[in-house]
């Protein structure tokens, strides 16, 4: 009886598994727990017969003083624990690497038979090599046993899941295979050098790389491939279930129904429409390019909620870009009118539209298609519509800044004249989005009426204004560069300034004082609405809290920098480590 194997776990596997668990703990979802648990059950069940065979036939052996001599089918319990720890480590790395993925967008719209068939052929050839090594015996026996045990599982996984594996970005699948494999190579070499376990030399090829048997290197590689392919298969089934929800608009109301939907997607895979996948891919790409904070924030939500949020954010980005990139005020007004017309057509398709389609020289077909697809994918059936029209009013307020050329800035009418104007603008452009988000959360997560919807909507409007004030404080220089000042004129007048002074010198001490006052307002609004977050359902409480705290942390960061953000027109971003810390604490 000994503790060498236990000490190995305490040195190599348990610390890594513990660190990964602690790091990922706030971000765990029921889906993550389910798939790692499921893979652990499969890994232990599939490995025990094979491992037991190796031990009984003397291919693997353990010194009596290396283990506690407690076995399961002749396998030391420490070895069984190794199966669980390896699967958990690899599973956690996969969860971390794939956290940001929007799974349905990787469903293949067309068959990928060539990649599937070529990969399958290569795996069959390797299986035949394994059979040859096993039949010939001698030094190739262990290699053959590894191949004929693992490859049937890998072949089955590949034939079922290869379209999804090929579609996923390599950053989601390669690191979970490579990183644990290389780490376990190092750990295995140390364990074998210490005599924790050994392999019968007569069953090996005798080929070593960096002091480790080639068979052991292959074993850890192929087992991690099996684990990752299994996790990808689980996500493939979930992606098909989410795709069905996207197409039907009907989300599962309970966990039981969600599991049932996944099983139905596996048994009867839905037909994938390329146009649906293309719309989702474009929305995700737009969000990733234009607003990484929103994209990362959406990653904290799961399933249909996240997809709906992506479509909402994407719609906001599309209309915002169309207006900002307009050549003149007339074109910007056209896009607002066109957006209003498209919304009318979707909301009241049987009625005469309130605003007829305008006749205009702005006939950019690509932009028209972009707007129409953004409106078509907007989840209107799950939210109230007044906030959408208020959002367009906010864009109309922005146009007041474009009524004069830069050479005539002194004549510009600044629409944010008073603090009530600021409140009205923030309500139009931010509180509206908060209301839309809360509508989605209410639809998906509040079927048991866990909170008062009206009170939550009021808190959401206040929080939306708070976050918009942070945006304004951050972007004083950026806005000045395009002739805009969102600081109330009355605030500036109290210090003897005008908006033109901010346009002329956005780096001034006066601008810094206005930044501080705007942050004070943001923090006051935040304090009024913060408590409402804790009344949200558990599944969305953490993501909402994290999204809000990420914005408010920008305000704290601006105070720490003491005006440095005003020295450049570039957008101020939080350091990566600080963003991770805010997310980790917010999700607890």
Report the 3 state secondary structure along 558-588: HHHHCCHHHHCCCCCCCCHHHHHHHHHHHHC
Cα separation of 279 and 173, whole Å?
A: 24
d(CA 521, CA 555) in angstroms, rounded, equals 11
Go through the domains of the chain in sequence order and give each one's CATH number: 4-248 (no CATH), 273-382 (no CATH), 384-588 (1.10.600.10)
pLDDT at 130 over 80: yes
For residue 357 the two structure tokens come to 């389609």
- In tens, the pLDDT along 302-335 reads 888 999 999 999 999 999 889 888 888 888 889 9
Q: How many CB atoms lie within 10 A of CB 451?
A: 18
What's the confidence (pLDDT) of residue 392? 93
d(CA 429, CA 486): 13
Whether residue 356 is predicted with pLDDT greater than 60 in this model: the reply is no
Tell me which of 446-455, 458-467, 577-586 is least confident.
446-455
> Is 305:441 a contact under the CB 8 Å cutoff?
yes
Nearest Cα to 524, choosing from 445, 466, 441, 444?
A: 466
**pLDDT of 174 higher than 80:** yes
378, 312 in Cβ contact below 8 A? yes
Per-residue confidence band for 54, with pLDDT thresholds at 50, 70 and 90: very high
Q: Chain-wide mean pLDDT for the chain? A: 88
Q: What percent of the chain has pLDDT over 70?
A: 94
pLDDT of residue 355: 54
**Cα gap 139→144, rounded to integer Å:** 10
Confidence band of 409 (pLDDT split at 50, 70, 90): very low
- pLDDT, residue 202, reads 82
- Please report which confidence band the pLDDT of residue 404 belongs to, taking 50, 70 and 90 as the band edges: very low
Cα dist from 212 to 187, 219, 497, whole Å: 10, 12, 73
How far apart, in whole angstroms, are the C-alpha atoms of residue 574 and residue 134? 57
Give the model's pLDDT for residue 103. Answer: 93
pLDDT band at residue 351 under the 50/70/90 scheme = low
Q: CB neighbours (10 Å) of residue 355?
A: 12
CA 365 to chain centre: 32
pLDDT at position 412, please?
A: 60
Joined tokens for residue 397 = 């307020």
Environment class of 357 (CB within 10 Å of its CB; exposed 0-12, middle 13-18, buried 19+): exposed
Q: What is the mean pLDDT of residues 275-283?
A: 92
Q: Considering only 29-43, 65-79, 200-214, 288-302, which range has the smallest mean pLDDT?
A: 288-302
- For residue 246, what pLDDT is reported? 86
What are the C-alpha distances in Å from 30 to residues 106, 258, 378? 22, 11, 27
DSSP single-letter state for residue 271: P
End-to-end CA distance of the chain: 41
Average pLDDT over residues 137-147: 89
- DSSP, collapsed to helix, strand or coil, labels residue 272 as coil
pLDDT higher than threshold 60 for residue 408: no
* Amino acid 502: pLDDT: 92
Handedness of CA 252, 258, 260, 261 (dihedral sign): positive
pLDDT score of 183: 97
pLDDT for residue 402:
55
* pLDDT 10s digits, 528-546: 999 999 999 888 999 999 9
Residue 416 to residue 414: CA distance in whole angstroms: 6
The C-alpha atoms of residue 458 and residue 434 are separated, in whole angstroms, by 10
Name the token pair of 553.
């942390």
Given a cut of 80, whether residue 353 has pLDDT beyond it is no
Residue with the bigger pLDDT between 416 and 266: it is 416
Q: What pLDDT sits at residue 113?
A: 83
Cα 425 to the chain's mean position, in Å?
30
Q: pTM here? A: 0.89
14: phi then psi, degrees, rounded to nearest 5: -65, -45
On whether the CB atoms of residues 200 and 12 are closer than 8 A, the answer is no
pLDDT tens-digit series, residues 7-37: 999 999 999 999 999 999 999 998 999 999 9
């Amino acid at each position: 009886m000994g503790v060498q194997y236990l000490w190995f776990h305490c040195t190599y596997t348990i610390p890594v598994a513990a660190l990964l668990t602690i790091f990922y703990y706030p971000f765990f979802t029921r889906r993550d727990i389910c798939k790692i648990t499921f893979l652990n059950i499969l890994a232990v069940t599939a490995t025990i017969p094979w491992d037991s065979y190796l031990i009984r036939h003397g291919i693997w052996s353990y010194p009596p003083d290396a283990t506690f001599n407690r076995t399961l089918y002749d396998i030391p319990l420490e070895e069984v624990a190794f199966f669980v720890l390896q699967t958990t480590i690899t599973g956690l790395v996969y969860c971390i690497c794939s956290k940001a993925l929007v799974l349905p967008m990787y469903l293949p719209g067309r068959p990928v038979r060539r990649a599937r068939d070529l990969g399958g052929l290569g795996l069959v050839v390797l299986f035949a090599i394994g059979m040859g090594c096993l039949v010939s015996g001698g030094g190739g026996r262990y290699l053959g046993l590894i191949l004929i045990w693992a490859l049937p599982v890998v072949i089955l996984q590949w034939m079922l899941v290869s379209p999804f594996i090929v579609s996923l970005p390599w950053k989601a699948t390669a690191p979970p295979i490579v990183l644990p494999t290389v780490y376990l190579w190092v750990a295995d070499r140390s364990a074998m050098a210490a005599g924790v376990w050994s392999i019968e030399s007569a069953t090996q090829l005798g080929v070593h790389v960096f002091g480790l048997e080639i068979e052991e290197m292959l074993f850890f590689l192929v087992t991690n491939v099996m684990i990752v392919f299994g996790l990808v298969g689980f996500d493939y089934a979930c992606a098909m279930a989410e795709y069905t929800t996207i197409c039907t608009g009907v989300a599962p109301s309970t966990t039981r129904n969600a599991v049932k939907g996944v099983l139905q997607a596996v048994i009867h895979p839905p037909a994938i429409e390329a146009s649906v996948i293309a719309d989702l891919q474009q929305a995700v790409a737009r969000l990733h390019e234009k607003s990484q904070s929103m994209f990362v924030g959406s990653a904290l939500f799961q399933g249909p909620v996240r997809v709906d949020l992506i479509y909402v954010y994407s719609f906001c980005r599309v209309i915002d870009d169309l207006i900002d990139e307009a050549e003149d005020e007339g074109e910007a007004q056209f896009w607002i009118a066109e957006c209003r017309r498209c919304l009318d057509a979707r909301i009241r398709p049987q009625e005469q539209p309130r605003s007829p389609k305008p006749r205009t020289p702005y006939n950019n077909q690509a932009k028209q298609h972009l707007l129409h697809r953004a409106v078509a994918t907007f989840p209107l059936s799950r939210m109230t519509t007044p906030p959408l029209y208020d959002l367009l009013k906010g864009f109309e307020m922005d146009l007041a800044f474009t009524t004069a050329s830069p050479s005539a800035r002194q004549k510009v009418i600044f629409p944010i004249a008073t603090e009530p104007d600021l409140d009205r603008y923030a309500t139009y452009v931010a509180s509206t989005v908060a209301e839309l988000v809360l509508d989605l959360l209410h639809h998906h997560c509040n079927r048991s009426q866990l909170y008062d919807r009206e009170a939550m909507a009021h808190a959401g409007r206040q929080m939306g204004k708070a976050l918009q004030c942070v945006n304004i404080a951050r972007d004083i220089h950026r806005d000045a560069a395009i002739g805009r000042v969102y600081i109330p004129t009355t605030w500036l007048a109290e210090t003897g300034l005008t908006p033109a002074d901010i346009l002329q010198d956005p780096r001034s001490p006066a601008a810094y004082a206005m930044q501080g006052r705007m942050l004070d307002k943001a923090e006051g609004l935040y304090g009024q609405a913060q408590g409402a977050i804790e009344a949200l359902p558990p599944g969305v409480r953490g993501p909402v809290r994290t999204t809000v705290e990420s914005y408010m942390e920008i305000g704290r960061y601006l105070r720490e920098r003491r005006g440095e953000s005003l020295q450049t027109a570039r957008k101020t971003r939080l350091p990566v480590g600080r963003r991770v810390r805010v997310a980790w604490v917010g999700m607890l």
